Every structure is written in structure tokens, then in C-alpha cells.
Amino acid sequence: MLESRPPTSIAVLVSGRGSNLRALLAAIDSGRCHARVIAVISDRPAAAALELARERGIPSHVVSPKQHADRPSWDAALAVQVAAVEPELVVMAGFMRLIGTPLLERFGGKIINVHPSLLPAFPGIDAPEQAIAARVRISGCTVHLVDSGVDTGTVLAQAAVPVQQDDDAAALHLRIQAAEHALLPAVVHAIATGAIELGERPRYRGPARDDAALISPPLL
């Protein structure tokens, strides 16, 4: 019963506008996602997502690479900041930097990312552009565990998005983002309710609610 299970506390890592953060908050507000955002952390002081966090009264933090001498010191500082808020789950929602070893060592198996392609196709940056260049007919989005590679962690769920004949990368990306805004809260909810059990080998235990049909895990 959800009444006896407290909402899962999540720290959200962002770099930009925060559209996935906004979708998560909307799902939480409507009761579709059994979680609570306890902190928003960005690598960019000007990220619009930080203003959204402030408007909602959510603690926000900036760990800028420009304030650190090198990449290892930034990696360590990010891990310290995330650990300081003690989240049960770390959600990368448009966070445009690779996660370093310190954060992986502290939260390995508890960090998820949403990526705008059907992994393993088109990892890394500019995934919609890659899809258009490859002339695929189907693209989509993926929520996956984060590891030390570039979008190589275990896939938890995916949603397909058709590529239209007149699509350019921007148009395709907009439709993929709409799918992300449904898929990411659904996966967070599934983790929060035990429908997806994280770990070295994540396990899918069945839908947490009717609209969990969005989730099509390949990990069974």
C-alpha cells in the first residue's frame, strides 16, 4: 500500500530549462509519482531549472566546473553536494555532463538518466540529429541506470516515437521530449513503489498502476 510507503526522496541533476523536472513535479502533484524532490543540483548557475526549483521552494545548489581547478575536484564536489542532501535516488534530467567516479561510488545503482533515443542506438550528444541523419523510422527515449560509460548503463524502460518524413532534428526532439515527460515520472514511480527493484541487476516486478504500460523493460 502506498499509504504505508513514504515517497522516495530524489535529487534531480539539471543543466538547462528543466522540462523533465517540471514533468516530474507535475506527476508528483497529481499523485502519479510517489516521490518527492528534495534538491535540484546544476552545473550551470544560469540554468532555468534552478528558478523553477526556487519557485517551488525546493533547495537548489550549483556545482560549477568553473569554480574547480580540474575535473577530479569537480567530480568530488558534486558527489559531496549530492550526498549532503541524502537522496534515495538520483535523477539526471537533462544533466549534460558525465558522472565521475566519486558519485558512482557513493550512489552506484541508484542513479538514473533519461536519454532521447532508443539505446543502444545514438548514445551521447545530439541523439535526435543522429536519428535524422541515419534516416531511421522509429526513435524514442530511454531511462537507464548510469554507469561509467556514455549512456551504456542497464536500460530500465523505453518509449518509441515515430520519425515523420518531414521531421528535422528539432521537431523530432520536441516529440521525444513529450515522451520523456511521461516515461521518466512513470519509471521513478515504479522504482518508488517497488515495481522496479534497482541493484546490480535490476528486476522488474510488475506494473505499479495502469499507465505503467509506458514501461517496456528489456531486463526480464
Alpha-carbon distance 205 to 60, whole Å? 33
All three cell numbers of 186? 512513470
SS3 173: helix
SS3 203: strand
Quote the strand ranges of the chain, DSSP E. Answer: 8-14, 35-42, 60-62, 89-92, 111-115, 138-145, 155-162, 196-197, 203-204
What is the torsional sign of CA 83, 85, 89, 91? negative
189 is catalytic: no
In the chain, the amino acid numbered 136 is V
Q: Which of 34, 61, 68, 115 is catalytic?
A: 115
Catalytic residues, by residue number, are 115
